[in-house]
């Protein structure tokens, strides 16, 4: 039978399933009108036994601010009296349907913190009736700015308005980018997620089938399918694509993530870079028309611009599709019309800059330079001439023979004593951070101090100290007291990989100085294309293509060489060959990347078989792609935004988890639903999956 | 070393990687201009040694028709002579870059079959230079209307213009629906695909992890996550969602498929039905503005409307974003301006009709009625009164005690002899089709014939024959000679499942009659909402929720009862309770479905534990959802389009495979890439997957 505890309450529950009136259309919101509003109520304030106030959060774009329910009564058993009693029975945070009479409200002192200074209208709702649709339980304690455990993601979504705003912004960004691509005649085409395992580069998840020993692999990206689309005569393709990689979840990565993926036929890398430039430019103007950036509790919050633009003019005539209507208008948002402090927080993207991989690595020590780390606070990395340094100094900082010695300077604007304290603390804490330096070289740290011998550079020796000052002058001007100079040696060899010791130090020192308030935080958005990566990279930890060459494709084995000269290098010195590959970097974070592809079957086979020295079996895994290229495939180039990453950098949040509705933990677990979960014996049998005895 | 066959040809291949000029902007396309065009060339026609013609297919929306390359020369070694020689070396179907001088072309007799009768302009291109970007191989033989094997999907994509048009239409449909939802303030939110296994209803694919015995499950739909979004205070959600079900691939299903998924908080089923009605209405107007339906080789082809609207006015000023520009304009496409035969092929959706499940089952014998099967050709199903039939007739057609006897009539418009031949052939072929009838009852077939005793109904006996004629008269009028009447018995019990014997027969006879030309094919689009399904269905083949009740949720265990009365039936007779569930049916195919959900935790637990009699472990798998509902979740209702299905029905193609770029076979295989594929020993070890010895 049905347990008594439920049975006796079924009639109570049943009433929550009744029909309830639909909410009143926005057009009818006028002073004195009776309207129906759906929403969640806030905490009730009882001013007397006959007068209460209560916020009603309508949870709809149309109403940027909560309503205030005003409940008062004079006559016993009047409608107002009954409604008042009803209100008093409903727990805070419950979903309700309210019938009330509208009046404009003057209560601006209660305005919630998310609001702009120039406020949209808010309404009082004189209560006539209220229905609770599902009472909020007493045992869930809601406090302001609470951070809920991952298991309670539903409560974080519900009670963190910043998280909700970020999800709305993400939705806007997705739809805007897709619409811009559609307008540029890109075709949205879905490609399979159940693919097969190929040695493309990353570790794939497998999906076993009921046929023993056979499995699908989840696509690590739509790469191969989109290239086949190009061979199939599709001119321009795009897709908001789910990608899957079974990586160790370091570096804020998710096992499943989203790419906005594109490919163009009859295009070179340069064509694709231009196309992305246009897209980012258009995107910026759409964002600026629709969003303001505000700092709320130190977090960057994308505030919907309609809050600001429809001030005291009332909501009348403000159609539900306000956002896209505005996006369609040619009128540009004019940041100069705002108060200066608001203008500074606008979304403004300057032109995208371009830089080769080699330049990025030598000047910034990273293939993802953050262009906000710049003069007058931080110099670029300088390569010291060999002749300008004494052997004894070089031997002091490194065990390397014939090293390259780099220098980099920081202007913290404080006296030498304070600068010295800052940098010594930083260096002392370094071993406990994630920044790992090579054991072959120790950074040398100097604080420029005209009160000290050789201005504090005496460890360099007289001649070297002078050379350092001279060398830095063209970009940096004269050193000032309190400037911090870091010098470090590295192996004299071509660049591979993502960063150098000096690059990681430079970024970390800047970050620490910003944290300490020594360097101001730069709120701008600096896009940069890094291009001409090495086509191949000596084997490291990643699986690569499993070839016998000792190196793997830096990105994937389909990347085209950059120039005819790089083509020739394949035969003689493949590790020197550059790729027609480009990464889009925003504020030091890779938010996208792409390349021209190899579109000639023989060249693709040549790279796999003769350069990477993959096995026949390995090459055969790509037979579908090679066969498609063979059928007169046009040249093509592509790009993909790491969409989660793009959103998180635009919103300046520390993790992609902050812009994903249901993120997975660093161990790849969804702690709310409890995935992954134990495989049942029946499932083990159906899909031939082992279970460990001890699990 | 590098094999000689490649090495000697590397220089040849290298040239295909050179930069090539970008194509000329559309604005510059004018008589006499020199332009660069990218595209695929067709077969060359040599009129003399000094004059050749060749189609150039620019593969871009901007140019609805191929260019014609005109290559001629007079002087040896002139630019024209060299270009001519170059052209002659390039195999047909190769991608090329052409520089040529534009001239309007009068050659309308060569127009490709895809074109409209009122043609857009076509251009001649006087050849100045041509570069081959990748020669098409000689061993691939391209013939007109070839159907390529699934392994060569890239060639089908490349050489089947109808398939390409369908993919463009699909892209348009996707973007239009998503934009309409965005405009209605729905928020696009992505939910995880790596979920966990829950007994929701269908068999899930598993994704084993490196931790032995633990696996993700691929989402069968975003159902649970989107409900948690509603609990999390998201007001309106949508997502173009990938869904995965490991079903037997009968009935044209794919193991991965796409839903356009939606959910609204503070909504009842009726609210959601209204919202979908508005969406379909808006969609229709967007489709009509942009596409014409044309029959090409008996296939329905969505022809981009710009072909038709920009007739001889030239392409000048026709911006690349023509499609969306037009979609934004308020101007409606006016089918009446077209020639009458074109108007009849327009996309026009009449109002969506509504019908209960019980009405659909009793009047059409299916929960997916095709409203095009209608009078004057086919009657609805009629339930004969018990008193109107003789016991001997009933015993003749069924072994059932106290059965219900249905009748249904077909007007084929041919003499009784021909109608008899048709229906006898149909019935004879029936055992070899996929239509399976219950063994307890045999359909009785009559052909109305005034020249026969009792008008051909003598098997019924005199009284019954008369009753049949009377009973049918209100909906059908008088019988005419050649009308076919089918009578069949079924069990006297409530309806469950998708169809009755009579319903399947009615649809199949109609289909056969259309095929034979006896009933005209109806080109219209008939949308229908079927609602008020039974909440539970006695257990059949599907896994259901694994409860001990002997029945399972008809759709999923989250579906809300329809009315308070249905709520009360849960206690007394749950199999009689109706659900607030609705399916959207288009021309007899389910293209979407949804329901109001249970939003009260106690009720959800009650349904699972006390009604479905699921185990504690089974209920615990849904703890995340129940916990989210408990936190004051508002009432909510949702809907999802089966997007592949919707596209395929709008385009009247026999299979969803015809609207998917890379479909899987009926066995779930991608025959082009060869997935699923064998698991390697290393993968077996990493993911603890068995391999059969004999595989």
Closest-CA residue of chain A to B204 = A683
Scanning every residue of chain A, which has its alpha carbon at the shortest distance from the alpha carbon of B93?
A: A632
Q: Which is more confident, B475 or B431?
A: B431
Instruction: State yes or no: pLDDT of B145 exceeds 90.
Output: no
Q: What is the mean pLDDT of residues A626-653?
A: 97
d(CA B81, CA B72): 7
Would strands B353-356 and B382-383 be described as parallel, antiparallel, or unpaired? unpaired
**pLDDT at B428 (0 to 100):** 95
Of residues A326 and B446, the one with the higher pLDDT is B446
Q: Where are the domains of chain A?
A: 10-132, 375-521
How far are the Cα atoms of A507, A602, B123, B319 from residue B64, in angstroms, in the given order?
A: 52, 33, 11, 13
Q: Evaluate whether A370 touches A316 at the Cβ level (below 8 Å).
A: no
Is the pLDDT at B321 greater than 50? The verdict is no
Flag whether pLDDT at B311 surpasses 60.
Answer: no
Q: Give me the residue from B62, B94, B228 closest to A154, CB to CB.
A: B228
**Range A666-686 average pLDDT:** 90
**What is the rounded average pLDDT of the residues A176-187?**
96
Query: In A, which residues are within 8 Å of B615 by CB distance?
Result: none
* Mean model confidence pLDDT for chain A: 88
Say if the Cβ atoms of B171 and A182 lie within 8 Å: yes
pLDDT score at B543: 67
**What is the structure's pLDDT at A546?**
79
- Indicate if the pLDDT at residue B8 is higher than 80: no
List C-alpha distances in Å: B180 to A282, B191, B275, B278: 21, 20, 11, 10
* Chain B CB contacts of A642 below 8 Å: none
Cα A581 to Cα A533, B329, B462, distances in angstroms: 6, 40, 86
Chain A residue closest to B227 (CA)?
Answer: A154
Distance from CA of B471 to the nearest CA of A (A): 39
Q: Which fold has domain A375-521?
A: Gyrase A; domain 2 (3.30.1360)
Top-confidence range, A249-263, A472-486, B545-559, B659-673: B659-673
CA dist., res. A323 & res. B183, Å (int): 7
Examine the pLDDT at A310 and tell me if it is beyond 50.
no
More confident residue, B502 or A112: B502
pLDDT score recorded for residue B120: 57
Q: What confidence score (pLDDT) does residue A3 get?
A: 64
What does the alpha-carbon distance between residue B576 and residue A350 come to, in Å, rounded to a whole number? Answer: 65
Q: Is the pLDDT of residue A54 over 90?
A: yes
Q: Is the pLDDT of residue B110 over 70?
A: no
**Chain B residues inside the 8 Å CB shell of A323:** 182-183, 185
The domain A10-132 having CATH identifier 2.40.50.140: the answer here is yes
pLDDT-derived band at B300 (thresholds 50, 70, 90) equals: confident
Percent of chain B, pLDDT > 90?
A: 68
Question: Topology of B373-521 in CATH?
Answer: Gyrase A; domain 2 (3.30.1360)
Question: B-chain residues within 8 Å CB-CB of A662?
Answer: 191-192, 225, 228
Which pLDDT band, with edges at 50, 70 and 90, does A350 fall under?
confident
Asked if the model's pLDDT at residue A345 lies above 60, the reply is no
Chain A residues with beta carbon closer than 8 angstroms to that of B662 = 191-192, 225, 228
B160-348+640-684: CATH topology is BirA Bifunctional Protein; domain 2 (3.30.930)
What pLDDT sits at residue A653? 92
Q: Percentage of chain A surpassing pLDDT 90?
A: 68
| Contact call for B664 and A133, based on CB within 8 A | no
Confidence of residue A346 (pLDDT cuts 50, 70, 90): confident
What would the mean pLDDT of B656-676 be, rounded to a whole number? Answer: 95
Q: How confident is the model at residue A329 (pLDDT cuts 50, 70, 90)?
A: very low
Distance CA A21, CA A26 (A): 15
Q: Cis omega (within 30 of 0) on the bond before B376? A: yes
Higher-confidence residue: B373 or B693?
Answer: B373
Judge: A228–B602 Cβ closer than 8 Å, yes or no.
Answer: no
Average pLDDT score over residue span B161-177: 95
pLDDT grade for B191, boundaries at 50, 70 and 90: very high
Does residue B265 have a pLDDT over 80?
Answer: yes
Does the distance separating the beta carbons of A6 and B679 come in below 8 Å? no
Cα B607 → chain centroid:
34
Quick one: closest CA in B to A634, which residue?
Answer: B95
Nearest CA in chain A to B187: A171
More reliable by pLDDT, B297 or A502 = A502
Average pLDDT over residues B120-132: 88
What pLDDT score does A77 carry?
A: 95
Residue B333, φ and ψ in degrees, nearest 5: -65, 135
Confidence grade of residue B306 (pLDDT, cut at 50, 70, 90): low
pLDDT band at B250 (very low <50, low <70, confident <90, very high): low
Question: What residue in A sits closest to B644 (Cα-Cα)?
Answer: A190
CB-based contacts of B329-335 (< 8 A; 24+ apart in sequence): B329/B289, B331/B289, B332/B285, B332/B288, B332/B289, B333/B288, B333/B289, B333/B290, B333/B305, B335/B288
Lowest mean pLDDT among A470-474, B220-224, B638-642: A470-474
Bridge partner list, A69: A54, A125
- Over residues B14-36, the mean pLDDT reads 90
Average pLDDT along chain B: 88
For residue B344, pLDDT over 70 is answered with: no
Q: Which residue of chain A has the CA closest to B180? A: A321
pLDDT at B669 over 70: yes
The pLDDT assigned to A209 comes to 92
CB within 8 Å: A606 and B10: yes
Both structure tokens of B593: 């479905």
Query: Does residue B316 register a pLDDT over 70?
Result: no
Q: How many Å apart are CA B226 and CA B262, to the nearest integer?
A: 8
pLDDT of residue A169 exceeding 80:
yes
Across the interface, which of A218, A231, A632 has its CB nearest the CB of B135?
A632
The confidence score (pLDDT) of residue A145 equals: 79
Give the model's pLDDT for residue A252. 82
Q: Are B305 and B114 in contact (CB under 8 A)?
A: no
Dihedrals phi, psi of B626, to nearest 5 degrees: -65, -40
Put simply, the answer to whether B213 touches A16 (Cβ < 8 Å) is no
The pLDDT assigned to A309 comes to 42
Q: What local confidence, expressed as pLDDT, does residue B317 receive?
A: 33
Taking CB atoms within 8 Å and a gap of at least 24, the contacts of B603-610 are B603/A10, B603/A13, B603/A16, B603/A17, B604/B557, B604/B558, B604/B629, B605/A6, B606/A2, B606/A6, B606/A10, B606/A13, B606/B570, B607/B553, B607/B557, B607/B570, B608/B545, B608/B547, B608/B557, B610/A1, B610/A2, B610/A3, B610/A6
pLDDT of residue B687: 82
Tell if the CB–CB gap between A95 and B255 is shorter than 8 Å.
no
Say which range, A16-25, A308-317, B364-373, B593-602, has the weakest mean pLDDT: A308-317
Cβ contacts below 8 Å, chain A against chain B, sum to 476
Q: Which of B2, B182, B692 sits opposite A324 (nearest CB)?
A: B182
Which residues on A lie below 8 Å from B606 (Cβ)?
A: 2, 6, 10, 13
Q: Which of A168, A185, A218 sits opposite B61 (nearest CB)?
A: A185
Q: Are the Cβ atoms of B184 and A320 closer than 8 angstroms?
A: yes
- Predicted pLDDT at A256: 97
Looking at residue B107, what is its pLDDT?
61
pLDDT on residue B158: 95
Write the pLDDT tens digit of every residue in A382-422. Answer: 999 888 888 888 999 999 999 999 999 999 999 999 999 99
Q: Which residue does chain B place closest to A138, by CA atoms?
A: B631
Using an 8 Å CB-CB cutoff, list chain A residues near B134. 599-600, 629, 632-635
Q: Which positions ≥6 away from A449 have C-beta within 8 Å?
A: A416, A455, A456, A481, A482
8-state DSSP, B192: -
Q: Is the pLDDT of residue A250 over 80?
A: no
This complex has an ipTM of 0.91
Chain B positions touching A187 (Cβ under 8 A) are: 167-168, 171
Collect all residues of chain A within an 8 Å Cβ-Cβ radius of residue B610.
Answer: 1-3, 6
Residue B223 and residue B245 in contact, taking contact as beta carbons nearer than 8 Å: no
**Which positions in chain A touch B207 (Cβ < 8 Å)?**
205-207, 218, 676
Confidence grade of residue B6 (pLDDT, cut at 50, 70, 90): low
Residues of B in contact with A677 (CB under 8 A): 196-197, 214-215, 217
Give the model's pLDDT for residue B369.
98
Which of A194, A210, A328 would best serve as a mutation to test chain B binding (most B beta carbons within 10 A)? A194
Average pLDDT estimate for A241-255: 86
Which chain A residues contact residue B672 at CB under 8 A? 228, 624
Task: Kindly report, residue by residue over A491-520, the tens digit of the pLDDT.
Answer: 999 999 999 999 999 999 999 999 999 999
The CATH H-level (homologous superfamily) assignment of domain B12-132 is: Nucleic acid-binding proteins (2.40.50.140)
Q: What is the pLDDT of residue A543?
A: 67
According to DSSP, the β-strands at A236-244 and A187-188 are parallel
CA-based nearest residue in chain A for residue B621:
A673
Would you say the CATH fold of A375-521 matches that of A10-132?
no
Q: Chain A interface, mutation test: which of B673, B692, B694, B695, most A Cβ atoms within 10 Å?
A: B673
- pLDDT of B367-405, one tens digit each? 999 999 999 999 999 999 888 888 888 999 999 999 999
Reported as a pLDDT band with limits 50, 70 and 90, residue A66 is: confident
More confident residue, B596 or B687: B596
């Amino acid at each position: 039978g049905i347990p008594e505890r439920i049975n006796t309450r079924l009639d109570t529950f049943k009433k929550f399933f009744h029909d309830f009136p639909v909410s009143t259309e926005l057009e009818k919101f006028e002073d004195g009108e009776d309207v129906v509003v759906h929403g969640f109520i806030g905490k009730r304030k009882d001013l007397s036994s006959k007068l209460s106030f209560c916020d009603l959060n309508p949870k709809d774009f149309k109403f940027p601010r909560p309503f205030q329910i005003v409940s008062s009564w004079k006559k016993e058993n009047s409608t107002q009296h009954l409604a008042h009693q009803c209100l008093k029975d409903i727990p805070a945070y419950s979903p309700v349907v309210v019938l009330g009479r509208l009046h404009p409200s003057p209560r601006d002192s209660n305005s919630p913190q998310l609001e702009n200074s120039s406020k949209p209208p808010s309404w009082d709702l004189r209560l006539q009736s209220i229905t609770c649709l599902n009472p909020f339980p007493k045992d869930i304690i809601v406090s302001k700015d609470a951070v809920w455990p991952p298991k309670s993601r539903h409560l974080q979504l519900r009670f963190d308005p910043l998280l909700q705003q970020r999800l709305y912004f993400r939705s806007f960004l997705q739809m805007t980018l897709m619409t811009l691509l559609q307008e540029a005649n890109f075709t949205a085409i879905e490609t399979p997620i159940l693919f097969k395992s190929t040695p493309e580069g990353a570790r794939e998840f497998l999906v076993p089938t009921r046929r023993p020993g056979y499995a699908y692999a989840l696509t690590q990206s739509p790469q191969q399918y989109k290239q086949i689309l190009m061979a199939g005569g599709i001119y321009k393709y795009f897709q908001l694509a789910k990608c899957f990689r079974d990586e160790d979840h370091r570096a804020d990565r998710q096992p499943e993530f989203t790419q906005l993926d594109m490919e163009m036929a009859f295009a070179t890398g340069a064509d694709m870079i231009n196309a992305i430039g246009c897209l980012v430019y258009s995107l910026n103007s759409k964002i600026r028309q629709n969003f303001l950036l505000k700092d709320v509790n130190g977090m960057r919050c994308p505030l919907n611009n309609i809050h600001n633009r429809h001030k005291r003019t009332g909501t009348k005539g403000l159609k539900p599709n306000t956002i896209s209507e505005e996006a369609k208008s040619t009128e540009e948002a004019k940041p100069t019309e705002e108060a200066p402090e608001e203008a500074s927080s606008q979304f403004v993207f300057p032109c995208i800059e371009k830089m080769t991989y080699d330049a990025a690595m030598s000047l910034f020590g990273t293939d993802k330079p953050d262009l906000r780390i710049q003069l007058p606070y931080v110099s670029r990395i300088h390569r010291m001439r060999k002749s300008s340094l004494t052997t004894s100094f070089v031997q002091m900082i490194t065990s390397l023979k014939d090293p390259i010695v780099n220098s980099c300077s920081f202007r913290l604007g404080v006296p030498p004593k304070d600068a010295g304290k800052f940098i010594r603390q930083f260096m002392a804490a370094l071993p406990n951070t994630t920044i790992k330096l090579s054991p072959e070289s120790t950074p040398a740290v100097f604080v420029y101090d005209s009160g000290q011998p050789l201005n504090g550079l005496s460890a360099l020796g007289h001649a070297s100290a002078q050379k350092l000052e001279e060398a830095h002058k063209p970009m940096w001007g004269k050193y000032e007291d309190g400037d911090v100079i870091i010098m470090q040696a590295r192996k004299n060899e071509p660049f591979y990989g993502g960063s150098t010791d000096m690059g990681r130090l430079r970024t970390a020192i800047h970050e620490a100085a910003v944290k300490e308030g020594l360097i101001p935080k730069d709120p701008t958005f600096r896009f940069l294309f890094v291009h001409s990566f090495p086509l191949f990279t000596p084997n490291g930890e990643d699986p690569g293509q499993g070839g016998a060459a000792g190196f793997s494709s830096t990105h994937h084995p389909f990347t085209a060489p950059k120039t005819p000269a790089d083509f020739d290098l394949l035969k003689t010195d493949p590790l020197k060959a550059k790729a027609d590959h480009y990464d889009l970097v925003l504020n030091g974070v890779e938010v996208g990347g792409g390349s021209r592809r190899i579109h000639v079957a023989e060249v693709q086979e040549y790279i796999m078989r003769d350069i990477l020295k993959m096995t026949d079996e390995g090459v055969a895994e790509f037979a579908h792609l090679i066969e498609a290229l063979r059928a007169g495939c046009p040249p093509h180039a592509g790009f993909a935004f790491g969409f989660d990453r793009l959103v998180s950098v635009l919103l300046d949040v520390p993790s992609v988890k902050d812009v994903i509705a249901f993120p997975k933990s660093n161990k790849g677990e969804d702690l709310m639903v409890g995935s992954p979960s134990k495989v049942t014996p029946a499932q083990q049998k159906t899909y031939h999956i082992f279970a460990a005895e001890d699990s």
